[in-house]
Structure 1
Amino acid sequence: MAPAITLAAEAPKLSAANTGFMLICSALVMLMTPGLAFFYGGMVRVKSTLNMLMMSFISLGIVTILWVLYGFSMAFGTDSGSLIGWNSDWVGLGNIGLTELWPGYTVPVFVFLVFQLMFAIITPALISGALADRVKFSAWALFIALWATVVYFPVAHWVWGAGGWAFELGVIDFAGGTAVHINAGAAALGVILVIGKRVGFKKDPMRPHSLPLVMLGAGLLWFGWFGFNAGSWLGNDDGVGALMFVNTQVATAAAMLAWLAYEKIRHGAFTTLGAASGAVAGLVAITPAGGAVTPMGAIAVGVIAGVLCAMAVGLKYKFGYDDSLDVVGVHLVGGVVGSLLIGFFASGKGQSEVEGLFYGGGLTQFWKQCAGVFAVLAYSLIVSAILAFILHKTIGMRVSEDEEVAGIDQAEHAETAYDFSGAGGGAAKTAVTAPVAAAASKKVDA
């Protein structure tokens, strides 16, 4: 068949509405990284709060610079062997026209690249939750740079880049179930198997120091996730982005309720930590699937993910790996669940006509999803473990045991999260106010 002739009038034109929408979505995704910092920061003990915040914030700096220098080119440049991309014109981003459009869409290349940059930033930040309390900040910063280069950029090309093997195979990942969540969760598992457990793991209480901070972080993540998910359609012309927006809310609500129901039955209480974790599990699971399922399918995805992720977080005590803040249990398991359920719940009425098993499509799409899920899982797990091993044996990834016990905030950042001496209470207050009160009393007597 002869190729169709596209008239100049039919070529996509820059859409101010879609461009503005995507810039807002990019800002929402950026907000998710500080939200993640607060979410993780509240879950650790007081002595590790600042370090946890910084492990997310430093990703904003490192990955941004790498993205400008070569990351965008590696992820979305011209395909080479279905494994990696490259476009020398994009190195340094100096040869991109202001109104040059992303192929096939109505938004500028600059808009697409900054949206994808925010994904690249948050993905290594997700890993940090598994490593709380024990990793040198300098080693973590170097790990981010290496991991983004040899893991995230190539995997993003596989999944979303034109010519990437998963993209060409037809693996559905609307907004990052494989490229972001499975990738980060598998990496977290690989690193913690190398660096080992925290001092006192399974012996000392390691409860969250600030559940309000956890809930604040979860709320920011939930809010930002609408940009993360709905924005991944790169426009708002055909309703698919709106479907994804609705499904994001629906699945998150369902997962939160399912997690709370599970922990009430299993542990006898509805906890705020469970509500926050359940919401995040739902957000993770619907990320790959939300453009392919109906709202009823989104409820199913959310419920299944909420229960399975709640069950999975306890596996670290059974198998002895110290996943500090449940990155494996929530992001790896949630990403796997959401990605594989596409093979069952894809309705054929959303982002494509692909139908899952429950809609008469058989298991064809399920096997494609399996290929994408387990390839990314294996690659990220193995390469991340190798990177961690190299750093651990050279510059060392862990702080000393004494520094870990005393508090990584003071050891690595020379700061503490809370200055109680200046909070208006205790001995410091008594020492300052007693002479003042005495002087005032004498004045009144006089």
Structure 2
Amino acid sequence: MPPGITTLAADAPELSAANTGFMLICSAMVMLMTPGLAFFYGGMVRVKSTLNMLMMSFISLGIVTILWVLYGFSLAFGTDIGSVIGWSSDYVGLSGIGVTELWGGYTIPVYGFAVFQLMFAVLTPALISGALADRVKFTAWTLFITLWVTVVYFPVAHWVWAEGGWLFDLGVIDFAGGTAVHINAGAAALGVILVIGKRVGFKKDPMRPHSLPLVMLGAGLLWFGWFGFNAGSWLGNDDGVGAVMFINTQVATAAAMLAWLAYEKLRHGSFTTLGAASGAVAGLVAITPSGGAVSPLGAIAVGAIAGVLCAMAVGLKYKLGYDDSLDVVGVHLVGGVVGSLLVGFFATGGVQSDAKGLFYGGGLDQLGKQAVGVFAVLAYSLIVSAVLAFAIDKTMGMRVDEDVEVAGIDQVEHAETGYDFSGAGGGSASRTAVHAPGQSGTAGAGPKTKKVDA
């Protein structure tokens, strides 16, 4: 995210209708990413968990929106306090902001910046939910979101993007959220699943996606919305940097999808739709921090490297024994780390800043800064998220009962089912439809079996 710019009064910018309209469109595109994520995750779980997975994303739109207005924007982007948090009373309730007040030297209103950043805050905790599929109480999840954005997301956003934030001042490059969004969410997911444990039947029962068309629809919506997520993060396009980020987003995503499919073909013998969708998301994640610092050729390299490494990483849960249901760790944490660190190799010094990576004569300086940002956010989010999950688990209980998990969380938690087969003829046809085979998680990640499970 670009820094605010201090200008003399005579050179003060004026509100730009074009940039304001652009930012509002980008904000709407980023908002669409949360329903897109819901479809992406919802198609990857078994039939009996579909609605719960959708709701775990959708509820973030409600909870985080209210918190952002009440105090989140102030904590993230208010006046810096000690390089770790912000606070401005005018931002509390968004009540002290003038309609035409501009954001930090840019040509867009503060309200325009606030709503754009709100959509980032909404999406980030929703990303975590994919790791917890099938087994978390909905009330516990809503409490976790409330606490997590307050003590993890809002401070980390300040570190990375706000003037005075310690990672911002260090010079860590994170154009649109490799650290603040993806590493943050991926590390949080790992912290929570280490506390709550594995699903019933993990590594024994098949848990394949129940609807690959939903997965592809979700991936397509994410890809579309990501152009607003990335290109919009320059807060306008007067100098063309946003356009560079736009093309790099497309290029890296394409490269990652192809690289994932190639790895999958060599490793497992097939090109799968789930692999294509997962590879595309891996590329989107990796280019998010780096796309404003690299050339289109560099974006191809970033996407290809992320596609292969994320495809390799999703299988680690079976080797290491942690149950990351839908590969949030393998895609978002690993992809965020890869994209953030590769800035230190591929930054050209000719787009968003003059910082150069190792391959462009910049030495190891920028790589060192990127590493500090990556591991600081990873460690903070992992530890604090695990503590929050542990506290919730010991007080109200984080997981549903085992019989609820086996029977299906949708009916118990939401009193609904994702699909009504009662009018489809009943009998064996209905049972066949309900008991479609399903393996949640990414293509080629787990053991194959002939058993079926709804």
TM beyond 0.5:
yes
**Aligned mates of 1:23, 1:428 — CA distance in 2:** 50
> Could you give the per-residue CA deviations for residues 51-94 of structure 1, whole angstroms, max 9, x where no partner exists?
00000000000000000000000000000110000001110111
**Aligned mates of 1:141, 1:341 — CA distance in 2:** 35
**Aligned mates of 1:394, 1:426 — CA distance in 2:** 43
Deviation for aligned residue 1:416:
0.1
Match of 2:191 in 1: 190
Please say if residues 34 and 57 of structure 1, whose CA atoms lie closer than 8 Å, have aligned partners that are also in contact: yes
Match of 2:166 in 1: 165
- Asked whether 1:20 is paired with 2:21, we answer yes
Match of 1:137 in 2: 138
* 1:12-51 matched pairs, under 5 angstroms: 12-51=13-52
Match of 2:87 in 1: 86
Match of 1:438 in 2: none
**Aligned mates of 1:294, 1:6 — CA distance in 2:** 30
Deviation for aligned residue 1:428:
11
SS class of match (1:32): helix
**Aligned mates of 1:6, 1:78 — CA distance in 2:** 17
Match of 2:376 in 1: 375
Match of 2:275 in 1: 274
SS class of match (2:86): strand
- Asked whether 1:239 is paired with 2:234, we answer no
Q: Which amino acid aligns with 1:281?
A: A
Deviation for aligned residue 1:8:
3.9
The structure with the largest alpha-carbon Rg is: 1
Deviation for aligned residue 1:9:
4.1
* 1:64-213 matched pairs, under 5 angstroms: 64-213=65-214
Runs (4 or more) in structure 1 with deviation over 3 Å come to 5-9, 426-430
Q: Which amino acid aligns with 1:425?
A: G
Match of 2:425 in 1: 425
**Aligned mates of 1:276, 1:83 — CA distance in 2:** 36
Q: Which amino acid aligns with 2:272?
A: T
Please say if residues 58 and 141 of structure 1, whose CA atoms lie closer than 8 Å, have aligned partners that are also in contact: yes
Match of 1:437 in 2: none
SS class of match (1:420): coil
Please say if residues 131 and 326 of structure 2, whose CA atoms lie closer than 8 Å, have aligned partners that are also in contact: yes
* 1:410-421 matched pairs, under 5 angstroms: 410-421=411-422
Please say if residues 178 and 376 of structure 1, whose CA atoms lie closer than 8 Å, have aligned partners that are also in contact: yes
**Aligned mates of 1:365, 1:318 — CA distance in 2:** 33
SS class of match (1:421): coil
**Aligned mates of 2:344, 2:188 — CA distance in 1:** 25
Q: Which amino acid aligns with 1:45?
A: R
Q: Which amino acid aligns with 2:14?
A: K
Richer in helix (by share): 1
Please say if residues 41 and 130 of structure 2, whose CA atoms lie closer than 8 Å, have aligned partners that are also in contact: yes
**Aligned mates of 2:65, 2:175 — CA distance in 1:** 23
Runs of 5+ in structure 2 lacking a partner? 1-5, 431-454
**Aligned mates of 1:320, 1:426 — CA distance in 2:** 39
Q: Which amino acid aligns with 1:20?
A: G
Q: Which amino acid aligns with 1:126?
A: L
**Aligned mates of 2:183, 2:152 — CA distance in 1:** 12
* CA distance 1:374–1:188, shift in 2 (3 Å): same
* CA distance 1:299–1:82, shift in 2 (3 Å): same
> Could you give the per-residue CA deviations for residues 144-171 of structure 1, whole angstroms, max 9, x where no partner exists?
0000000000000000011000000000
Deviation for aligned residue 1:429:
11
* 1:222-301 matched pairs, under 5 angstroms: 222-301=223-302
SS class of match (1:117): helix
* CA distance 1:7–1:195, shift in 2 (3 Å): closer
Please say if residues 85 and 165 of structure 2, whose CA atoms lie closer than 8 Å, have aligned partners that are also in contact: yes
Please say if residues 84 and 155 of structure 2, whose CA atoms lie closer than 8 Å, have aligned partners that are also in contact: yes
Q: Which amino acid aligns with 1:416?
A: T
SS class of match (1:409): helix
> Could you give the per-residue CA deviations for residues 20-67 of structure 1, whole angstroms, max 9, x where no partner exists?
000000000000000000000000000000000000000000000000
**Aligned mates of 1:24, 1:125 — CA distance in 2:** 21
Please say if residues 421 and 428 of structure 1, whose CA atoms lie closer than 8 Å, have aligned partners that are also in contact: no
Please say if residues 89 and 96 of structure 2, whose CA atoms lie closer than 8 Å, have aligned partners that are also in contact: no
* 1:300-311 matched pairs, under 5 angstroms: 300-311=301-312
Match of 1:444 in 2: none
Deviation for aligned residue 1:7:
5.4
* CA distance 1:111–1:206, shift in 2 (3 Å): same
SS class of match (2:422): helix
Please say if residues 187 and 378 of structure 2, whose CA atoms lie closer than 8 Å, have aligned partners that are also in contact: yes
> Could you give the per-residue CA deviations for residues 110-142 of structure 1, whole angstroms, max 9, x where no partner exists?
000000000000000000000000000000000
**Aligned mates of 1:66, 1:428 — CA distance in 2:** 48
SS class of match (1:417): coil
Count of residues in correspondence between the two structures? 425
**Aligned mates of 1:97, 1:104 — CA distance in 2:** 15
Please say if residues 37 and 217 of structure 1, whose CA atoms lie closer than 8 Å, have aligned partners that are also in contact: yes
- Asked whether 1:330 is paired with 2:348, we answer no
